[in-house]
């Protein structure tokens, strides 16, 4: 990607170098996942989570993710996981290679894929982590655990998170209403969800939705989270294998440039606000609950073409989160992760501790 796409770091949401550079954050997540250096996860993203991005995130010390159902077949997934693993070169102080995750999403679809075969490939692979999402993963969790995988399950409510905990997941990713993709139907933001999760959950949990800066990582840790999961922010990176036009749209947009579609079919999705998304909303207003009336506009093949062929952000319905308002550039994954960690440490060690005063009368 051309260097001209990355503006100077003096922008309103950019991160200047601070004295904390080189520091690390240890949480239950970094303790749990072998060789994970930073408590940052790149969530699974359809038509984005290929080996190029997954390996770049892992090589930056965070957790990169290959998206299973982006691959057309289980064997294609096997090849993509192997390709990502070969591209990961980072090791920790004990010689262990940086970890890789695979996203396994159970989608509401008219023609379900061969989930069993995809799951079997994941179990047979050398990935360390499985990120499950969508419908309840049920028996798949036991299958992944038997294969020695660490399971992270994405939830949009504390109630669902508690159910996942009972099923035996190792980590829960709490999706606030700000998230790209499917935020659920409860309309509850991250501030409340994370504080509630800290009160109710025993397993480690991640803050997901609207996250893209170190200040937000520090805030998530303060609310009890053990790390953050980011999707949209990683789309706007040098290594993200999507067309330049989509990255430019992410950098140019603000936090108001999203909308919700498929609400009348109970499959809410937060997407980039463009003419196609507005057309879907208009049809839903006239034909609520009629998926057939909008299927031609929301099918995945449309935004695969936008991401992988045309780069036209206005030609399809594609997932994007409110975090666009905090995206000013498209750095490398290594630069982004380092900046986020540096800023989080700076917030915790300088800004917050500087607010503490002591009453001399006590």
Q: Are residues 202 and 268 in the same domain?
A: no
Q: What is the pLDDT of residue 294?
A: 95
> What is the reported pLDDT for 144?
97
8 Å CB contact between 260 and 173? no
Percent of the chain whose predicted confidence (pLDDT) is above 90 = 78
- Residues 224, 180 share a domain: yes
pLDDT over 50 at 122, yes or no: yes
Above 70 in pLDDT, residue 168? yes
- Hey, how many other C-beta atoms are within 10 angstroms of the C-beta on 9? 15
Question: Do 95 and 183 belong together in one domain?
Answer: yes
- Pair type for strands 100-106 and 205-208: unpaired
- The per-residue pLDDT for range 216-228, each reduced to its tens digit, is 999 999 999 999 9
Interval 96-124 mean pLDDT: 91
The reply to whether 13 falls in a domain is no
Same domain, 132 and 231: yes
pLDDT of 12 strictly over 60: no
Strands 150-155 and 269-272: unpaired
Top-confidence residue, 126 or 15: 126
Task: Identify the pLDDT of residue 5.
Answer: 36
Give the CA diameter of the chain. 71
Same-domain status, 304 and 187 = no
The answer to the question of residue 217 being in a domain is yes
Lowest mean pLDDT among 146-150, 156-160, 196-200: 156-160
Q: Token pair for residue 236?
A: 């706007």
With both helix axes pointing from N to C terminus, report the angle between 158-167 and 190-200 in degrees, rounded to the nearest 10: 40
pLDDT given at position 302:
93
Asked whether residue 310 falls in the same domain as residue 336, the answer is: no
Q: Average pLDDT, stretch 314-334?
A: 95
Mean pLDDT of the chain: 91
Residues 191 and 166 grouped into a single domain: yes
For every residue of 302-339, DSSP letters joined together read: HHHHIIIII--TTSS--B--GGGGG------HHHHHHH
Average pLDDT over residues 10-31: 67
Same domain, 152 and 269: no
In terms of domains, do 315 and 332 share one?
no
Q: Are residues 272 and 219 in the same domain?
A: no
Structure tokens belonging to residue 340: 């986020």
* Residue 134 burial (CB count, 10 A): 16
| pLDDT band of 289, cuts 50, 70, 90 | very high
Is residue 357 situated within a structural domain?
no
- Give residue 164's pLDDT band: very low, low, confident or very high (50, 70, 90): very high
Q: How many domains are there within the chain?
A: 2
Residues with Cβ < 8 Å from 289, sequence gap 6 or more? 264, 265
pLDDT score, position 326: 97
* Full residue range of the structural domain in which residue 303 is found: 258-319
Claim to verify: residue 64 and residue 44 sit in the same structural domain: yes
> What's the gap between Cα 101 and its chain centre?
12
Is pLDDT above 50 for 17? no
Same domain, 146 and 37: yes
- Count the Cβ atoms, other than its own, within 10 Å of residue 114: 10
Distances (CA, A) of 298 to 56, 57, 212, 285: 29, 29, 26, 16
- The residue to which tokens 């053990």 are assigned: 226
Alpha helices in the chain, H assignment, sequence order: 28-32, 51-59, 74-87, 115-124, 139-146, 158-167, 190-200, 214-222, 232-235, 244-252, 275-286, 291-298, 300-305, 333-346
CA distances (Å), 290 to each of 1, 168, 262, 267, 285, in order? 41, 36, 10, 12, 10
Structure-token match 């099918």, residue found: 299
Given a cut of 80, whether residue 184 has pLDDT beyond it is: no
Please report which confidence band the pLDDT of residue 21 belongs to, taking 50, 70 and 90 as the band edges: low
In a domain, 338, yes or no: yes
């Amino acid at each position: 990607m051309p260097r001209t796409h990355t503006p100077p770091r003096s922008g309103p949401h950019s991160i200047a170098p601070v004295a904390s550079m080189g520091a690390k954050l240890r949480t239950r997540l970094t303790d749990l996942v072998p060789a994970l250096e930073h408590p940052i996860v790149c969530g699974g993203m359809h038509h984005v989570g290929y080996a190029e991005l997954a390996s770049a995130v892992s090589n930056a010390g965070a957790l990169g993710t290959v998206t299973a159902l982006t691959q057309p077949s289980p064997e294609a997934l096997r090849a993509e996981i192997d390709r990502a693993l070969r591209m990961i070169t980072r090791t920790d102080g004990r010689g262990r290679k940086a970890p890789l995750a695979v996203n396994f999403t159970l989608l509401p679809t008219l023609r379900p894929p061969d989930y069993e075969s995809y799951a079997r490939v994941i179990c047979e692979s050398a990935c360390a982590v499985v990120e499950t999402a969508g419908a309840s993963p049920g028996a798949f969790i036991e299958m992944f655990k038997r294969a020695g995988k660490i399971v992270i399950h994405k939830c949009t409510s504390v109630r669902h998170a508690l159910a996942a905990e009972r099923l035996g997941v190792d980590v829960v990713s709490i999706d606030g209403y700000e998230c790209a993709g499917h935020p659920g139907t409860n309309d509850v933001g991250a501030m409340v969800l994370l504080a509630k999760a800290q009160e109710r959950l025993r397993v480690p949990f991640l803050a997901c939705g609207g996250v893209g800066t170190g200040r937000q990582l520090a805030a998530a840790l303060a609310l009890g989270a053990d790390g953050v999961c980011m999707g949209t922010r990683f789309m706007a990176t040098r290594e993200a294998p999507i067309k330049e036009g989509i990255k430019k749209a992410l950098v140019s947009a603000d936090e108001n440039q999203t909308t919700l579609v498929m609400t009348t079919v109970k499959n809410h999705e937060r997407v980039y606000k463009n003419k196609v998304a507005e057309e879907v909303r208009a049809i839903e207003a006239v034909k609520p609950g009629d998926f057939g009336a909008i299927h031609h506009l929301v099918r995945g093949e449309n935004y695969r073409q936008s991401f992988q062929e045309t780069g036209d952000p206005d030609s399809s319905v594609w997932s994007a989160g409110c975090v666009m308002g905090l995206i000013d550039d498209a750095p490398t994954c290594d630069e982004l992760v380092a900046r986020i960690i540096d800023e989080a440490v700076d917030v915790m060690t300088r800004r917050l501790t500087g607010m503490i005063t002591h009453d001399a009368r006590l």
